[in-house]
Amino acid sequence: MKTEINQREFLNLMVHVPGEKLNRVLKFLPKAKLPTVRKIAGENWYHILTFCKRVEVRELVPKLKKLGCEDIVEFPLAKLTP
């Protein structure tokens, strides 16, 4: 069983999603683990935090934009413990 994960292969991804697109975006995201989803106060928008492979981000971000997502932020993964 492989327990070591090279964190350089992954990025955190934070995105804001309109409420009416939430389910579609959740189905579209990589299935590494379920993302953290929080409703943005006073708005019909949601904040999603997840991680994915670096190589997936190049294709993922433009597709998220087409789905109506905003404020997309990529940042390095400091540590990933399976």
Mean pLDDT by 10 residues, the chain (82 residues): 64 94 89 83 93 88 94 85 66
Predicted local confidence at residue 72, as pLDDT: 95
pLDDT at 1: 43
Dist CA 80 CA 69 (whole Å): 26
Which strand ranges, in their side-by-side order, compose the sheet holding 10-18? 36-39, 45-53, 10-18, 70-76
The structural domains of the chain, ordered by start, are 7-76 (3.30.70.120)
pTM of the full structure: 0.80
Q: Write out the E strands in 1-82.
A: 10-18, 36-39, 45-53, 70-76
Provide the pLDDT for residue 3. Answer: 47
Query: How far, in Å, CA of 47 to CA of 69, rounded?
Result: 10
